Structure 1
Amino acid sequence: MSRSKYWKVLLLVVFSAVFFVGCSSKESGGEKEENSKKVEQELVIAVNENFISMDPHNTGDTNSNSVQSAMLEGLLGSDEEGKIIKQLAEDYSISEDALVYTFKLRQGVKFHDGEEFNAENVKANFERIINDDSLRLNSRGFNLIKNIEILSDYEIKVTLKEPYAGMLTRFVSAKILSPKVLEGGSEEIGKKPVGTGPFKFVEWVQGDHLTVERFDEYWDKKDRVKKITYKPVPENGSRVAMLKTGEAHVIYPLPSQNIKELEGNKDVEVQKIPSTIARYVSINTMKEPYDDVRVRQALNYAVSKDAFISVVNAGFGLPLDSIIPSKTLHYEKQEVYEQDIEKAKKLLKEAGLEDGFKAEIWGNTNSDTMKGMQFIQQQLKEIGVDVEIKSMEEGTLSDEIYGAQTPEDTKLQMWYVSWSAFPSDPTNATKPLFYGGSFPPNGANTAYYKNDQVDKWIEEVNKTPDESKQTAIYSDIQSTIYNDAPWIFLGVDEILAGKRTNVEGVFISPTGGINVLDANLK
């Protein structure tokens, strides 16, 4: 080959190589750009515990309820402040005697499976709750429903046997399921719910993730993210790391000890929200030695609420100075159990337990719970109470506590836990927790607390439409129960959450629920 031909061939090879690389780089960059867009269509939310069930009529944990609210709607909903708003109901009215609730329903709404929403669907959902006393909503107001009457395709009337002050919030909790999924029974509902919400169910891999995707036929047309993946991440450090790298867009709760490092991150926003979340240790009042009020009061005097807030919550929160948080309607501050070790020891001596005793505390496996239980263990050690910590995965713990069993059969002694209710609903902050008819599995009275006078007051206040009379009754309820000490009263959370700055339309409610109704990525 001549030298001139050789150089021509070489130049052609080089030019082809450069052209190929250039095109490849361009295509590769395009792919990266396209992949980036795809990634930004998925919002990832990391929470601290596993989800238990997707059955909205039988849910007891906030995380499960948060996911459900992305897919399912009630006749009523709640806003960012926890106030009741209209959702599947366009309007509603309550009779003067507080017995009849009439709802005008939204028209043109479809379920994710194509079924049309109407009054018949609402009736079928409510009847499911009424007819199955194993469902948690049954004992939370729906067992008081006397009659459901369909007035038209889009109007329904619900009549109660007796007035119930918290009934509106029950209509918030009772999310409406598709008639087809109702036919599948409780097991199918708990795994694959079908509702009318802005997002529809995709898959649930237990312990790893639950994914929903945008429902493009949703009645309230807005620009929303295409997909949301919820990931249970019990370990605090792992959740924070996911937020920092962008692997998660929202984390809840945000560990308080990580606030300073995140506040200096320009890609992250730290949110602080006043809450109605009460932190406490329920004490089994039917099991020795906890059946002695002096023992329960001694446990309260042994624990410093200020230290709890400082050590466990890194200073974020307030002492729990009543049986309900201060943001709750009809709240009344009580005389706090200030830490007094000598008084606690004196009470134990009076109860015949001068040398203390062995105890067991249960809780889930997330980092904050473990820290809280360790704090209780250390505090009670000062008065000779030797506490053994027993941590369980959330589902197992729920089965142990809410499985069908009598108060005599349960092994539960103490449970480190929290409870939240709508700010406007003191009923749900009292009746499920302290009423004698709310022992598990019918309610969340895991202290097995039974006071006949308190029961009468709770029954009376739920039948009283007069708000001033309600205030007086709730005053008596709070002072009596606080003195009876069925809990170790700890603190009220200031909710801490973290989100990436490109997230919009996601907020945490005062009850700790994650609302993604208008979720999007900028």
Structure 2
Amino acid sequence: MKKCGVCIGVLVLMAMFGFSASLSYAEVPKDILVVGMQAGDVVSLDPAKAYEFASSGAVKQIYDNLVDFKVGDYTEPIPELAESWEIGEDGKTWTFHIRQGVKFASGNPVNADAVVFSLQRVVKLEDTPSWVLTQWGITPDSITKIDDYTVQVVLDQKYAPGMFLSCLAYTVGSIVDPAVVMEHEQDGDMGKAWMSDHSAGSGPFILEQWNRNESIILKANENYWKGTPPFKRVIIRDINEPTNQMILLEKGDLDIAWDLLPDQIKKLRDNPDIGIYETSTLYTRYIGMNVGYEPLSKSEVRKAIRYAIDYDSIVDDIFQGAAIKTQTFIPKGMFGYNPAMPYNLDLEKAKKLLADAGYPDGFEVDLTCYPEPPAPDIAVKIQSDLAKIGIKVNVVQMVSAQLYEKYRAQQLQLVLAQWGADYWDPDANAKPFAHSTTAGPEAPIKQLAWRNKYANVETSKLVDQAAQELDKDKRAELYEQITNMILEDGPFAILLFPLKQYGVRSTVKNFIAPPSFSDYDFFTLSKE
């Protein structure tokens, strides 16, 4: 009988770990967790370089940060290696007190020297994700050791605590073992080449092997400070096709299928051996409206478009229920979320708004989208919806690279796009959606509002104010004000946030659906 490539890979892994080839993979002991996911985007497993979906998630299993988020609650950072911290009177000097007694997998102590080295290393290497730290004005000189378990970080100005702490919880905030890293330095690279496929962390797992385009194999860190990891090994199988993930999950060859689509989720719901878990994501689908295109310059026209869209049909029919209808730009589950949804399908109101704006007979406009599903289906639905109020929509499909090049150059009229926050703070969405003091080339923040030639001095000031507000309640009020203003006047029709859905074998316990792999910790699981 011919064996598939995935099955052959499974047999190879079984042989590596000493299991008999006569066993089915479903009989692998409960102290091994097998996860199927699309892991082909991994470039490096060095936390100073890792920036892709799967690499960030793998790094999460290997390293600890000063702070973290509790799985399922991303509104407030919690202590991890830093057991406490305080902000100086100037609002920009942060002092972190490091938890004592923690060791790296090597047995070396986690201390202030390790924290200073790790953060300075990110800044010095200047790799892709380094901006997450350097955006705060952090330089190597602004990270200093006060004593063996105290570190001071000075920012360029005061910022809301949640913003900075959210970034420290991201991949680049991982604390690495200086002795191990520098032992493998080559030509002044601070261990970067070696760290690509080796590890030097204090997290629950150690990188045992990365087989490119096949698997990432993690083994338990016996020195882990929170206790013995629940699995001797975690095997992350690189399985690009969601259908193959579903088949292997049904057979018991996978414990978790990470990338299932709504069609597959429906097929699995009646399987008593599989649980379905879902959660909102950080990625919003929206329509951008370029106010430089004359009809879209009028607020009444933009409102008419929002009232003409059948949001429920997009969620129920195109996404098959695997999405949350949302009309504001901060995702549900993040601090600052605004549940306001004033726009429901109302064609008469939409027609009146068009007439009030001087377009009683509608107008013609191009809607650009990329060809990957479900974008074309959404675009055709928008085309149909707007036709009912007299707006003729020409759907233009364009590969993503070309689409975003034109979008960033303000050259699209209507665009169907998506946006994902880089970290768990509302500022990550407020700046792109609501900060633009000018639509011209001198605009300080050239993100989504700017791409649609939308300038709003008032919301821009409020975004800056919210970024520096230290009082959490006052900050929440500012984001409610900002999101309401963009909801009323902005250049967007926000459609939804897709759900992330997982298939999990019933033998896996304590699974909580994460918005992304980089937000998850396999240490919290167990397996019967």
With normalisation by structure 2, the TM-score equals 0.74
Query: In structure 2, which of residues 116, 124, 131 is the aligned counterpart of residue 138 of structure 1?
Result: 131
Identity across aligned pairs (percent)?
A: 20
Residue in 1 that maps onto 2:9: none
Q: 1:319-354 deviations in whole A, cap 9, x for unaligned?
A: 213221343333334453323456667749958994
Residue in 1 that maps onto 2:7: none
Q: Given that residues 433 and 444 in structure 1 are in contact (C-alpha distance below 8 angstroms), is that contact kept between their aligned partners in structure 2?
A: no
The CA RMSD measured in Å over matched residues stands at 4.2
Q: Given that residues 201 and 213 in structure 1 are in contact (C-alpha distance below 8 angstroms), is that contact kept between their aligned partners in structure 2?
A: yes
Residue in 2 that maps onto 1:499: 504
Change (3 A) 1:324 1:39: same
2:136 match: secondary structure: helix
CA distance in 2, matches of 1:206, 1:172: 27
CA distance in 2, matches of 1:65, 1:380: 37
Q: Given that residues 305 and 338 in structure 1 are in contact (C-alpha distance below 8 angstroms), is that contact kept between their aligned partners in structure 2?
A: yes
Structure with bigger gyration radius = 1
* 1:386 is aligned to 2:394: yes
Q: 1:38-82 deviations in whole A, cap 9, x for unaligned?
A: 565542223357435445456665544322211222111111223
* 1:77 is aligned to 2:68: yes
Q: Which moved more, 1:494-503 or 1:111-120?
A: 111-120
Q: Please tell me the residue identity of whatever aligns with 1:124.
A: F
Cα offset, 1:410, TM superposition? 8.3
CA distance in 2, matches of 1:445, 1:474: 18
Change (3 A) 1:400 1:77: farther
* 1:455 is aligned to 2:460: yes
CA distance in 1, matches of 2:360, 2:54: 42
Cα offset, 1:104, TM superposition? 1.9
CA distance in 2, matches of 1:213, 1:143: 35
Residue in 1 that maps onto 2:15: none
Cα offset, 1:500, TM superposition? 0.7
Residue in 1 that maps onto 2:330: 324
- Kindly report which structure 2 residues correspond to 1:4-403, keeping only aligned pairs within 5 A, or say none: 32=22, 38=28, 41-47=31-37, 50-53=40-43, 54=45, 56=47, 62-80=53-71, 81-82=73-74, 83-95=76-88, 98-111=91-104, 116-130=109-123, 135-136=128-129, 138=131, 142-145=135-138, 147-165=142-160, 166-173=163-170, 174-179=173-178, 180=181, 184=189, 188=193, 191-192=196-197, 194=199, 195-233=201-239, 235-273=241-279, 275=280, 277-281=282-286, 283=288, 285=290, 292=297, 297=303, 299-340=305-346, 347=354, 354-362=362-370, 370-382=373-385, 383=387, 384-390=392-398
1:461 match: secondary structure: helix
Q: Please tell me the residue identity of whatever aligns with 2:174.
A: K
- Kindly report which structure 2 residues correspond to 1:458-473, keeping only aligned pairs within 5 A, or say none: 458-473=463-478
CA distance in 1, matches of 2:287, 2:195: 27
User: Which ranges in structure 2 are unaligned for 5 or more consecutive residues?
Assistant: 1-18
Cα offset, 1:488, TM superposition? 3.2
Q: 1:1-59 deviations in whole A, cap 9, x for unaligned?
A: xxxxxxxxxxxxxxxxxxxxxxxxxxxx9764697765655422233574354454566
2:41 match: secondary structure: coil
Q: Please tell me the residue identity of whatever aligns with 1:67.
A: A
1:459 match: secondary structure: helix
Q: Given that residues 368 and 403 in structure 2 are in contact (C-alpha distance below 8 angstroms), is that contact kept between their aligned partners in structure 1?
A: no
Cα offset, 1:232, TM superposition? 4.9
Change (3 A) 1:432 1:204: farther
Cα offset, 1:489, TM superposition? 0.8
Residue in 2 that maps onto 1:426: 426
Cα offset, 1:151, TM superposition? 1.2
Cα offset, 1:156, TM superposition? 0.7
CA distance in 2, matches of 1:400, 1:198: 41
Residue in 1 that maps onto 2:409: 408
Change (3 A) 1:187 1:31: closer
